[in-house]
Structure formats: C-alpha cells, structure tokens
Amino acid sequence: MKYTKKPLTIEEQIDRLKQRGLNFADREQAKNYLKNISYYRLRAFTYPFQNNTDPSADHVFLRDDIDFSDIVDLYVFDRRLRNLVFNELEKIEIAVRTQLSMVYSVQSQDPFWYLDGVWFVQSNPNTFPHLVNDVSDDVNRSNEDFIKHYKTKYDTPAMPPSWMSLEVLSFGTLSRMYKSLDKSPMKRQIAREFGIGDEDVLANWLHAFSNLRNCCAHHSRIWNRRFVVHLKLPYNTSNPFLTRSSLKTIKQNKIFAMLSAIKYIVDIISPGNSFKNQLEGLLMENHKLLTIKEMGFPVDWKELPVWKM
C-alpha cells in the first residue's frame, strides 16, 4: 500500500482535531504549542481517547469533555515523569558500572578482565566477540579526556582498563556485559550488592532499565506504555519488595513494575532519597486525563512493602 497522506498546516491540524471532537478553549495557545510540539508527538496522548478500531469513525474522540489543554497537561506529566525516572536510572547505572569494574578487577587481579573470554558464557561462540566489538565502539566513540590520555600514553593493550572503559559504555552495552558473564561467585556478589539473590533477575532488570532509559532519553511516552522487556518480579529479595499475592497481578510490562524495581535498588544505593516523595507529589496533582491504572498501579500500591519504606 502506498502512503498518500498529505502534510497539514497547524491550522489544518487544529481543524482535523476539532472535527474528531477535541475542544479548543484557546486556539491561539494551541497554535503556539503545535509550533513546538509536533502534532504527531501529541498523537500518542490523544490516541487512548479516540475510536481507533472502527475505520469509518476516523479516530473520533470517545469523550466530549476533552480540551487540547488536557492533552498538553498529560504530555507535560509524562515529560516530568521521564525526567524523574531518568535521574534515578542514572544512579543505578553508575552504581552498576562501579560494582562490575571493582569486583571483577580486584578478584581477578586483571584490569583488562573484560577482554578475556574466560569470564563469559561459552554456549554461543559469537556472544563474546560481539560484546567486545560493542565495548570497543563505545570506547572509541568517547571524547572523555581520560580515554584520550590512555590512548596517547599507552599502546598495549589497545583498550583501557575496565575502570576507564566501563565508565563510557552505554547502558545497553553495560547490561549485555553483565548478562553475558558466566555464572560465578563474582556475578552473584554483584547481584547481592543490589539486594537480589538471582543473577538472572538483575540481568533482566538491567535490560529493562536500559530500554526505559532509552525511552526517556529519546523523549518517548512512558505513561501508559507497554514495554517490550517484561520485568521479572522476584519474591526472594534481601529487602522488602512486593507481596507474593501482588506478584501474580502486577503487569510486568507497565511502568509501575519498573518504578517499583527502581525504588527497590535506589533505596539500597542511595538511602534517604526523595524518589517516592517526588513520585507521589507528581501523582497527587490534578491531571484530568491521568489514571494510574493505565500505568499498571494496583489500587493498594502504597501498601506494598517497597512503597512503605
């Protein structure tokens, strides 16, 4: 099928949305918003309130009380939620870099351990070479002074020691590195530093966090998103997390599961943090179109162990 839709001017965009049932209390203000936030980006926030199943309905709005300003309010909420989440993921990412480099460097007594395939799973012969290529790409892409200094002063090995290299890896590469490590007391030790007894659970969380971080970094909607990576929800954590009964009902692909995992780890690495208070403050504001059910929040979420801390 050939794409035949024509581009719309801002005036035409507003007229199209009005035809579909969206109200505009202040048309001039809407024009200003649409000059800076694309019609297509806001489409992600109008979509849940439109009829998208009947082609003849032409995406008509299912409610007659929604104003364009309500859509913008939901967009701003999502942006603020992304900023909050991004800040907490930064803490986790830095802590993982630190633990991974320190534990393996010290216990192996090899600054370049990450270049030695002996520490990584052997089941797939392509896994380790691909990982080394990704690490090399991330390091060579870096403009950090300490990387430049190493390359200027040393020629063997060609790659810097782990405490330098791991600092410039993307979260995605860092996540794959941990997942690719062979099971060992060192890998288990890192998981336990974050209050998790199962290395596979931490690997899953890091993968999910990496995906979420990319959404935040690229300004993608997270409010009612169904994430590709489903979060594993363990019951045998070192600190209070979720109840056994709630594990069966919480949606593993919604943001609430992510927020719970983030809070669990941040409480360990950054005691006294304000994540919970900031999140509650954001949720308590008056957002007409916001329903936390769409985010995967259960009714009694504040009573779950991790959120009572």
Question: For 270-285, what is the HEC assignment?
Answer: CCCCCHHHHHHHHHHC
Per-residue pLDDT band at 256 (split at 50, 70, 90) = very high
What does the CA dihedral 60, 65, 70, 71 come to, rounded to 10 degrees? Answer: -10
| pLDDT score of 5 | 87
Question: Does position 55 have pLDDT exceeding 90, yes or no?
Answer: no
Question: Does position 124 have pLDDT exceeding 90, yes or no?
Answer: no
Per-chain mean pLDDT for the chain: 96
Structure confidence by residue, pLDDT tens digits, 162-179: 999 999 999 999 999 999
| pLDDT score of 93 | 98
Would you say 233 and 253 are in contact if contact means Cβ atoms under 8 Å apart? no
**Separation between Cα atoms, residue 275 and residue 269, nearest integer Å:** 12
Beta-ladder partners of 296: none
Q: Look up tokens 């609430």; give the residue.
A: 256
pTM of this prediction?
0.95
Structure confidence by residue, pLDDT tens digits, 192-243: 999 999 999 999 999 999 999 999 999 999 999 999 999 999 988 999 999 9
Would you say 14 and 34 are in contact if contact means Cβ atoms under 8 Å apart? yes
| pLDDT score of 125 | 85
Structure confidence by residue, pLDDT tens digits, 260-302: 999 999 999 999 999 999 999 999 999 999 999 999 999 999 9
| pLDDT score of 117 | 95
Domain range annotation of the chain: 10-66, 75-308
Residue 224's CB: how many other CB atoms inside 10 A? 20
**Separation between Cα atoms, residue 66 and residue 44, nearest integer Å:** 15
